[in-house]
C-alpha cells in the first residue's frame, strides 16, 4: 500500500510537466466548477485586502503589523492602501524579528487590542513558533480564563514556485495539532473574505494560512460576498462540487487541482464530490463523514508532507468512526513528496500533487486503475 | 526568494563601487560632501580605532548605590523621601519573602507540590521595584517576582491556592505549575514558563497602553527577567521593538549571577546586560540590586522617563541568587557552600535595610520577632487550608481551551468523560477516590 502510494505520487506528475493546462484554461474550469449567478469577480488578494479594510473600519482595536506591511504595502501587496487609509498607528512596519513582532502582537492582544500579525511567509513563523504555540495558544487555558488572545497570524503558506525547501512548506499539520489555536486554510476569494473577517472577530488566536499562488487568482463572487457583513463560520467545510462516486477532500490550492481532477473524471462518467476543508482546526469531520457515507470512497489531497499530516488525521478520524463501515475501498492520501522541496523546476513539479495524479488515485478508489 | 529582497542594498552598493572604479580620473569631493554617511550622523574619523565599551575606553558601567552594607547613606547619595509607614511596609514585604520561601520550599520537598522557586537574596530588587511602580502598571514577571504581587495585596491564601492547584486558585484554575501566579485585578500577567517570551509581549502591552487614551501617560508595562533569560532572542527582539515602535515599557533585569548553574561570566562576555541598552537606543541604569533604596530610586526615575517619553528604559539590578535555582536544583554541585554563606553574611539586602530603619528608630528586634512569628502563623494557616481544599471541578479540564463557543472536539471529549464517569465513577473504587478530591466530585458530568 505504502509503496503503491509513493510511486503513484510521482508518475503522473511526469506526464503533467509536458501537458500542463494553461492557467487561463484552469481558471475557466474553475469558474465552471464554482457556479455563481454573479458577474462580479474578485482576486484572493482583493478579498483579503477588503476583509482587512472592513474589519479595521468596523473595529478601532484591529491593527495590522509585520514586516513591510505599511509603506511597502506588504511583500505580496495584501495590505495595499491600508497605511494611507488608517495611518501608522494601525498599520505598523516592524524590524525583522518574527519572535519580536509576534510577541508584541500577543502582548497587545492580551491587553485588549486585535492584532493581525502578518508573516511574510509562514516559513518564517518558525522563528516565532514558541510565541504562537506556547503563549498565544495556551495562555487562556493556563491563566484560568483571565487572559484572552484575540489575534490573527496570517501570511502565505505551502509551496510557492522556485523558492526551494525553506520557502515551500505547509504548516497546516504543525499548527493544526495544537489545542487552543484555530487554523484556517482558505482557497477561494469567498473563503478568504468570509474567513479572514471571522478570524479577526474570533476571540481566539487564529492561524490563517494563505497561498501565494492563489493571490492573483480571480473568482466569481456573489453580491453577498461583497457585503461588509459577509462572514463564514470557522470549522465548517464547503462541498464545492457534489458527486456520488468518490469523495475528494482538499484544502487551499489543492482544491483547484481537485476540481480539475473532478472535471477530468466527469468525462469518464465518474461523479466526484469535492470538499473544500476551509478549516483545519476545528476540522469539519461531519461533512466528510456524510460525504463518505454517500460515495463510499475517500481520497484526501494536500500540499503538505504525508507523515502526520492533514490527510493522515482525516483518514484516522474516518476509520475510527461509523463512516468506516461505509468504505468500499482503502482511503488514500495524495500529498507532497516526503522530501524537502527541491528547487529545480522539474524536480519541484514532481514533489507536489496535480490534477492527473488526483484523478488517478480517485480512479483507483473506484478500482478503475492501478 | 523573499529574504533576497533584503539583500538589495549591498547589491546596489557593489554596483556603485564598481562604477567609481571605471572612472578615469579620481574625483575630488569636499569634506562637506562626505561629512556624513547617508543613514547616520556618525562623525568621520581618519583614526583606525576599535572600541568595546559603552562607558568609555576600558571603563565598566558604574553601579548606582544609595546605602552601604551597614545601612548608611553614601556620601552624595539622595535618600528617597520615605515616610516611616512606607519604609516599614517595604521592609515587611521583604521579610515575608524568605518566610514564604522556607515554608513552600519544604512543602515541595515533602512532595506536596510539584515545584517551587525561591527568591532568596533578591528581596530588595523585587520589593524596591514593586514599591516604585503604580499599583496598576502592567507587570509581566519571569517567575521569581511573587513579591510584586504580595506588595499589591495578593493574599497568602492566593499564593497557596495557586501552588496547590485548589478550586480556589483563580489565578490559574489548577492549570499552571506552582509560582506561575497571575492576577488580572492586580495587573500581573500570568507567568509563562518558556524564558523571555514575556519580554516582547511587554512591548506589546506597552504599545496597547500607549494607544489607550485613559492610560497613556499614566501607566507603563514592566517586564522582569534574569540575566540568563537576556541571552534569549526574545530579549533582544523585545528591546528592539519597544525602542523602534516606541512604547512605555520598563525592562528590569535581575542579574542574580546564575542561570541555573551557569554563572553570569559564562552568560555574556560584555559589560553585563546594561551595556545592551544603548545598543537599542534605550535609557539604561545599573543599580545595586541588594540596596532597596537604590532600586526604589532607580525604578521610580526609570518609570518617570518611560511614561513621560513613551519610550523603553532598562534597569539592570545586580544581585545574588542565594537560593537554588528551583526545587529541581542543588546549587552546591556547582558553587561552594562557603561562597553562598559569605554572600549572605556580607551583603544581605534585608540586613542592610533593617539597619537603615533601626538607625531611624523605625524598627526593632522585638518588632522583627513579632512580625516574623505573625507572618509564619498566617502562612501556615493558609497552607493548611489549601492542603485541605478540593481540587478544581473535573470539568475545569476542558474550560478555557477556547474563548467563546466550544468546538466539537472539546464537546466530544466532555461527552466521552461523562460516559466513563457514568459507567465507572461510583462503581470503581480508584475512580471514586480520585473524584472525591475534586470540587463537586465530578457530579457536574453525571
Contact B2 A147 (CB under 8 A): no
pLDDT at B28: 59
CA torsion angle for A94, A97, A99, A102 (degrees, to 10)?
20
Burial class (CB in 10 A: 0-12, 13-18, 19+), B337: exposed
pLDDT at A37: 52
Return the closest-CA partner of residue B138 out of B202, B197, B93: B202
Return the closest-CA partner of residue B272 out of B291, B290, B253: B253
Tell me the average confidence (pLDDT) per consecutive run of 10 residues in chain B, 446 residues long.
Answer: 38 38 53 71 93 92 96 96 97 98 95 94 97 98 97 98 97 96 97 96 98 97 97 97 97 93 91 97 98 98 98 96 84 84 84 97 97 98 97 96 96 96 94 95 90
> What residues of A act catalytically?
98, 167
Q: At what angle do helices B292-309 and B123-132 cross, to 10 degrees?
A: 40
Average pLDDT taken over every residue of chain A:
91
Candidates B185, B190, B200, partner chain A, best to mutate (most A CBs within 10 A): B200
Count of A-B CB contacts under 8 Å = 178
Return the closest-CA partner of residue B235 out of B198, B183, B181, B191: B198
Statement: residue A11 has pLDDT above 60: no
Statement: residue A9 has pLDDT above 80: no
**CB-closest option in A104, A120, A130 to B2:** A120
Contact B241 A143 (CB under 8 A): no
**Window 209-248 of A, Cβ < 8 Å to B:** 235
How big, in percent rounded to 5, are the helix, strand and coil portions of chain B? 45, 10, 45
The answer to whether B440 faces chain A, any CB pair under 8 Å, is no
The answer to whether A144 faces chain B, any CB pair under 8 Å, is yes
Q: What residues of chain A lie within 8 A of the CB of B408, using their CB?
A: 235, 282, 286
Contact B403 A92 (CB under 8 A): no
Q: Which of B325, B352, B354, B438 is catalytic?
A: B325
Q: Residue A243: phi, psi to the nearest 5?
A: -160, 170
**Which stretch of A31-35, A244-248, B71-75 has the lowest confidence by average pLDDT?**
A31-35
Q: Residue A267: phi, psi to the nearest 5?
A: -60, -25
**Among all residues of chain A, which has the CA nearest to that of B247?**
A104
Report the largest interatomic distance among the alpha carbons of chain B, rounded to a whole angstrom: 99
pLDDT at B261: 87
**CB-closest option in A111, A124, A140 to B208:** A111
Burial class (CB in 10 A: 0-12, 13-18, 19+), A200: buried
Contact B403 A150 (CB under 8 A): yes
Contact A143 B140 (CB under 8 A): no
Return the closest-CA partner of residue A64 out of A200, A178, A181: A200
- CA of A99 vs chain B CAs: smallest distance (Å): 6
Q: What residues of chain A lie within 8 A of the CB of B169, using their CB?
A: 144
DSSP B165-188: T-TT-TTTTT-S-TT---BTTTTE
**CB-closest option in A96, A167, A204 to B1:** A167
pLDDT at B337: 85
**Window 68-87 of A, Cβ < 8 Å to B:** 75
**Among all residues of chain A, which has the CA nearest to that of B138?**
A111
pLDDT at B37: 86
Task: Name the DSSP class of B363.
Answer: -
Domains of chain B in start order, with CATH, are 84-388 (3.40.50.970), 394-442 (no CATH)
Identify whether the C-beta of residue B295 lies closer than 8 Å to the C-beta of residue B93: no
pLDDT tens digit sequence for A255-305: 999 999 999 999 999 999 999 999 999 999 999 999 999 999 999 999 999
Candidates B402, B404, B411, B412, partner chain A, best to mutate (most A CBs within 10 A): B402
pLDDT at B31: 53
Which H or E run includes B251?
A: strand B249-255
Contact A111 B205 (CB under 8 A): yes
**Window 110-129 of A, Cβ < 8 Å to B:** 110-113, 115, 120-121, 124
Q: What residues of chain B lie within 8 A of the CB of A163, using their CB?
A: 1-2
Instruction: Tell me the three-class secondary structure of chain A, residue by residue.
Output: CHHHHHHHHHHHHHHHHHCCCCHHHHHHHHHHHCCCCCCCEEEHHHHHHHHHHHHHHHCCCEEEEECCCCCCCCCCCCCCCHHHHHCCCCEEECCCCHHHHHHHHHHHHHCCCEEEEECCCHHHHHHHHHHHHHHHCCHHHHCCCCCCCCCEEEEECECCCCCCHHHCECCHHHHHCCCCCEEECCCCHHHHHHHHHHHHHCCCCEEEEECHHHCCCEEECCHHHHCCCCCCCCCCCEEEECCCCEEEEECCCHHHHHHHHHHHHHHCCCCEEEEECCEEECCCHHHHHHHHHHHCCEEEECCCCCCCCHHHHHHHHHHHCHHHHHCCCCCEEECCCCCCCCCCHHHHHHHCCCHHHHHHHHHHHCCCCC
Q: Which residues are A299's β-sheet partners?
A: A248, A332
Contact A110 B238 (CB under 8 A): no
**CB-closest option in B190, B233, B403 to A142:** B190
Contact A104 B207 (CB under 8 A): yes
**CB-closest option in A101, A106, A203 to B404:** A203
The answer to whether A12 faces chain B, any CB pair under 8 Å, is no
Q: In whole angstroms, give the CA distance from residue A33 to residue A263.
A: 8
pLDDT at A33: 42
Statement: residue A51 has pLDDT above 50: yes
Q: What residues of chain A lie within 8 A of the CB of B9, using their CB?
A: none
**Among all residues of chain B, which has the CA nearest to that of A164?**
B1
**Window 87-126 of B, Cβ < 8 Å to A:** none
- Average pLDDT for residues A206-218, to the nearest whole number? 98
Q: Which residues are B111's β-sheet partners?
A: none
pLDDT at B347: 85
Candidates B169, B187, B207, B281, partner chain A, best to mutate (most A CBs within 10 A): B207
**CB-closest option in A97, A143, A235 to B190:** A143
Statement: residue A18 has pLDDT above 70: no
Q: What residues of chain A lie within 8 A of the CB of B234, using their CB?
A: 99-100, 103, 131
Q: What residues of chain A lie within 8 A of the CB of B412, using their CB?
A: none
**CB-closest option in A135, A145, A167 to B197:** A135
* pTM summary value: 0.90
Q: What residues of chain B lie within 8 A of the CB of A182, using their CB?
A: 402, 407
**CB-closest option in B204, B236, B245 to A106:** B204
Amino acid at each position: 500500500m505504502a509503496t503503491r502510494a509513493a510511486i503513484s505520487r510521482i508518475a503522473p506528475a511526469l506526464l503533467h510537466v509536458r501537458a500542463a493546462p494553461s492557467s487561463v484554461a484552469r481558471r475557466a474550469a474553475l469558474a465552471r466548477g464554482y457556479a455563481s449567478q454573479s458577474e462580479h469577480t474578485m482576486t484572493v488578494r482583493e478579498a483579503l485586502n477588503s476583509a482587512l479594510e472592513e474589519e479595521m473600519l468596523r473595529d478601532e482595536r484591529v491593527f495590522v503589523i509585520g514586516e513591510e506591511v505599511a509603506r511597502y504595502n506588504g511583500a505580496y501587496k495584501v495590505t495595499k492602501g491600508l497605511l494611507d487609509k488608517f495611518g501608522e498607528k494601525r498599520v505598523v512596519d516592524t524590524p525583522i524579528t518574527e519572535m519580536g513582532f509576534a510577541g508584541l502582537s500577543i502582548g497587545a492582544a492580551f491587553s485588549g487590542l486585535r492584532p493581525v500579525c502578518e508573516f511574510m511567509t509562514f516559513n518564517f513563523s518558525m522563528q516565532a513558533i514558541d510565541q504562537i504555540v506556547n503563549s498565544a495558544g495556551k495562555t487562556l487555558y493556563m491563566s484560568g480564563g483571565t487572559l484572552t488572545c484575540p489575534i490573527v497570524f496570517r501570511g502565505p503558506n505551502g509551496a510557492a514556485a522556485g523558492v526551494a525547501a525553506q520557502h515551500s512548506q505547509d504548516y497546516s499539520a504543525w499548527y493544526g495539532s495544537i489545542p487552543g489555536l484555530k487554523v484556517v486554510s482558505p482557497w477561494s476569494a469567498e473563503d478568504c473574505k468570509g474567513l479572514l473577517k471571522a478570524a479577526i472577530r474570533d476571540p481566539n488566536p487564529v492561524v490563517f494560512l494563505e497561498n501565494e499562488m492563489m493571490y492573483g487568482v480571480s473568482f466569481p463572487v456573489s453580491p453577498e460576498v461583497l457585503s461588509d457583513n459577509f462572514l463564514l463560520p470557522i470549522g465548517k467545510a464547503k462541498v464545492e462540487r457534489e458527486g456520488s462516486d468518490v469523495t475528494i477532500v482538499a484544502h487551499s490550492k489543492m482544491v483547484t487541482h481537485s476540481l480539475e481532477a473532478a472535471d477530468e473524471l466527469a468525462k469518464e462518467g465518474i461523479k466526484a464530490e469535492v470538499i473544500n476543508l476551509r478549516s483545519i482546526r476545528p476540522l469539519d469531520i461531519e461533512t466528510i463523514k456524510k460525504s463518505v457515507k454517500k460515495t463510499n470512497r475517500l481520497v484526501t489531497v494536500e500540499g503538505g508532507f504525508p507523515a502526520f499530516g492533514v490527510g493522515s488525521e482525516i483518514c484516522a478520524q474516518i476509520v475510527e468512526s461509523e463512516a468506516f463501515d461505509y468504505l468500499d475501498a482503502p482511503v488514500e492520501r495524495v500529498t507532497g513528496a516526503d522530501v524537502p522541496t527541491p528547487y529545480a523546476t522539474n524536480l519541484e513539479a514532481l514533489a507536489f500533487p496535480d490534477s492527473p495524479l488526483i484523478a488517478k488515485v480517485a480512479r483507483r478508489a473506484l478500482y478503475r486503475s492501478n | 526568494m523573499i529574504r533576497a529582497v533584503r539583500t538589495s542594498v549591498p547589491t546596489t552598493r557593489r554596483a556603485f563601487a564598481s562604477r567609481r572604479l571605471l572612472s578615469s580620473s579620481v574625483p575630488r569631493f569636499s569634506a562637506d560632501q562626505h561629512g556624513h554617511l547617508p543613514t547616520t550622523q556618525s562623525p568621520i574619523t581618519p583614526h583606525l580605532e576599535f572600541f568595546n565599551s559603552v562607558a568609555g575606553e576600558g571603563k565598566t558601567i558604574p553601579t548606582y548605590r544609595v546605602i552601604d552594607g551597614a545601612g548608611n547613606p553614601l556620601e552624595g547619595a539622595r535618600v528617597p523621601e520615605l515616610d516611616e509607614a512606607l519604609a516599614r511596609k517595604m521592609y515587611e514585604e521583604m521579610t515575608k519573602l524568605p518566610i514564604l520561601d522556607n515554608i513552600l520550599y519544604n512543602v515541595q520537598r515533602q512532595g506536596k507540590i510539584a515545584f517551587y522557586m525561591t527568591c532568596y537574596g533578591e528581596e530588595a530588587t523585587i520589593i524596591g521595584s514593586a514599591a516604585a511602580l503604580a499599583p496598576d502598571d502592567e507587570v509581566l514577571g519571569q517567575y521569581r517576582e511573587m513579591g510584586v504581587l504580595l506588595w499589591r495585596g495578593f493574599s497568602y491564601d492566593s499564593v497557596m491556592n495557586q501552588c496547590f492547584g485548589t478550586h480556589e486558585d483563580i489565578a490559574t484554575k489548577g492549570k499552571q505549575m506552582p509560582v506561575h501566579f497571575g492576577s488580572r485585578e492586580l495587573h500581573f500577567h500570568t507567568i509563562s514558563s518558556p524564558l523571555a517570551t514575556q519580554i516582547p509581549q511587554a512591548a506589546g502591552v506597552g504599545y496597547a497602553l500607549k494607544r489607550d487614551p485613559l492610560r497613556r501617560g499614566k501607566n507603563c508595562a514592566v517586564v522582569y527577567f534574569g540575566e540568563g533569560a537576556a541571552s534569549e532572542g526574545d530579549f533582544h527582539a523585545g528591546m528592539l521593538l519597544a525602542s523602534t515602535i516606541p512604547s512605555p515599557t520598563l525592562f528590569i533585569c535581575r542579574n542574580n549571577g546564575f542561570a541555573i548553574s551557569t554563572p553570569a561570566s559564562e552568560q555574556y562576555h560584555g559589560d553585563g546586560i546594561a551595556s545592551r541598552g544603548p545598543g537599542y537606543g534605550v535609557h539604561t541604569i545599573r543599580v545595586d540590586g541588594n540596596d532597596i533604596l537604590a532600586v526604589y530610586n532607580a525604578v521610580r526615575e526609570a518609570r518617570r522617563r518611560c511614561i513621560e517619553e513613551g519610550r523603553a528604559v532598562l534597569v539592570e539590578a545586580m544581585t545574588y541568587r542565594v537560593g537554588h535555582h528551583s526545587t529541581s536544583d542543588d546549587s552546591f554541585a556547582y558553587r561552594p557552600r562557603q561562597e553562598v554563606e559569605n554572600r549572605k553574611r556580607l551583603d544581605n539586602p534585608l540586613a542592610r535595610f533593617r539597619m537603615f530603619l533601626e538607625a531611624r528608630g523605625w524598627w526593632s528586634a522585638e518588632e522583627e520577632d513579632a512580625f516574623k512569628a505573625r507572618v509564619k502563623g498566617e502562612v501556615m494557616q493558609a497552607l493548611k487550608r489549601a492542603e485541605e481544599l478540593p481540587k478544581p471541578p473535573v470539568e475545569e479540564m476542558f474550560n478555557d481551551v477556547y474563548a467563546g463557543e466550544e468546538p466539537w472536539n472539546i464537546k466530544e471529549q466532555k461527552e466521552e468523560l461523562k460516559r466513563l464517569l457514568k459507567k465507572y465513577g461510583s462503581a470503581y473504587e480508584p475512580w471514586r477516590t480520585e473524584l472525591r478530591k475534586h470540587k463537586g466530585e465530578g457530579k457536574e458530568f453525571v
